[in-house]
Amino acid sequence: MDDRFFLHNLHWQSLDQFLTLDPQLRTLDKQPFVYNPPILYQLPIDTPGIYTLGGGRQIGKTTLLKQWMALLLKKKIHPKTIFFLTGEMIQDHFSLVQTIQTYIEEHNHMNVLLYIIIDETTYIKDWDQGVKFLADSGVLENVIMMLTGSNLNMMQDARMRFPGRRGVADVVDFHLYPLSFFECVQLKVKPKTPPSIETLFQEFDAYLQHGGFLTAINSIARNGDITASIYRTYSDWIRSDVVKRGKNEGYLKDFLIALFRTYGSQVTWNALADHMMIDHPQTIQSYAQFLEPMDVLFIQHALMEDKLLAAPKKAKKLILKDPFIYHAIHAWLYPMQEKNPFILSHLVESSVISHYQRYYPCFYIKAEGEVDLAYVDQNKFFPIEVKWTNVLRPKDLKQIKKYPNALILTKTNDLSAIGSIKTEPLPVHLYELGERHCLPRFG
């Protein structure tokens, strides 16, 4: 084996060495909370094909792959049939092809299915050309190839560039998100019965700090707080990815400062330029669109109600996709500044939107008034207003009152109604949303 890949293939020595010395599994074993994502049990076992696993930085994709490898080994898959490659150690598609061809040639005599994992594939220059060449040459016919990346454009590239070469599995693209609020409660509280409303409100307060990032959850469990180094690690990854892909770190910082100044508001690219040194709307738009497939940002468009599509000419809302991401970026931009308590309601609203955005097309409504969220399901839209306040003013409900299927999520702890509009306690609703959409565990 090439020495560059030895550390991540300790299973070739023994299962015990892999479970105890592998860098990800060793770190995982020391954590107060250890999570086995349900997606682990959806990953392929016996169907050849080219698969992708996408998701943002620092959410545990590499750890998930190591857990998958351990699962395969415990199913008596031969250790030498599993090969883990890290894209950071492969320069270009020529090196990628050579490495994989050599491995396959050395193990073809086993006449069994091979598992080739390429972590952070997008670090490899022209990776897609290499994978396409391997697929077209026929050497992947008896291979499960798993490609991972922290930019979700990788998934789109695979769909476009490998048509007819992905295999016959029903699902070939997997998206690893930060833990949902439901998953956080299940992990931390481990309720045997539905948790109480009081518990859900307490855990939602905690969720607004750590979000769905396990490193942050475990830091609070160990230290009572999220350490500065954890925030710094996340923001450093974002900055690093920006520079590696030819973007300007100064422009990124300028864009994020403008985002914080306008957070929770409707903005146009031209209006956002008023808060920035960059005065080119197209450049500003490019940074937003760069961060979106990194699972940092969600660009929430206004809804055309008659077409159930985005209204391209209306203002957008820029939503950071997890509370931890908000705090990590804030710590980078304003290292000596306390968090603004007035941002809390916007973090709550963002959390609801980002949860729904996992499952449905999501928009906001802008007409005579505004509605925070409208998600589309089965050719209908469902409007939701988020009110994290003790007092609801009639003018705040001006628009949502127009919809018979409207819902208001509130800070109160009981089910009720405001006029004809149904209300629900927000943490309860968010927990039940995650419960309805949680993946089944099997295998």
Residue length of the chain = 443
**Alpha carbon distance 87, 119 (integer Å):** 6
Going by DSSP bridges, is the β-strand pair 143-149/297-304 parallel, antiparallel, or unpaired? unpaired
* Chain centroid to CA 228: 22
Question: First vs last Cα of the chain: how many Å apart?
Answer: 30
Tokens of 8: 């991540």
Looking only at the bridges linking them, the beta strands covering 380-387 and 370-377 are: antiparallel
171 token code pair: 């699902």
Tell me the domains of the chain and their CATH numbers: 3-175 (3.40.50.300), 181-437 (no CATH)
Q: What is the DSSP string of 236-283?
A: HHHHHHHHHTT--HHHHHHHHHHHHHTTTS-B-HHHHHTTSS---HHH
pTM attached to this predicted model: 0.94
Are the C-beta atoms of residues 408 and 393 closer than 8 Å to each other? no
- Cα-atom radius of gyration of the chain, to the nearest Å? 23
Q: Is 175:54 a contact under the CB 8 Å cutoff?
A: yes
Supply the DSSP symbol for 43.
S
Q: Give the C-alpha distances (Å, rounded to integers) separating 185 from 176, 211, 291, 345.
A: 18, 11, 28, 21
- Kindly list the distances between the CA atom of residue 273 and the CA atoms of 147, 268, 320, in Å, as whole numbers in the listed order: 37, 9, 19
State which amino acid sits at residue 284.
I
Residue-level pLDDT, tens digit, the chain, 443 residues: 677 889 999 999 999 999 999 999 999 999 999 999 999 999 999 999 999 999 998 999 999 999 999 999 999 999 999 999 999 899 999 999 999 999 999 998 888 999 999 999 989 999 999 999 999 999 999 999 999 999 898 888 888 888 888 888 889 999 999 999 999 999 999 998 999 999 999 999 999 999 999 999 999 999 999 999 999 999 999 999 889 888 999 999 999 999 999 999 999 999 998 888 887 889 999 999 999 999 999 999 999 999 999 998 899 999 999 999 999 999 999 987 776 666 889 999 999 999 999 999 999 999 888 999 999 999 999 999 999 987 777 677 889 999 999 999 999 888 787 878 999 999 999 999 999 998 776 55
Strand partners, 202: none
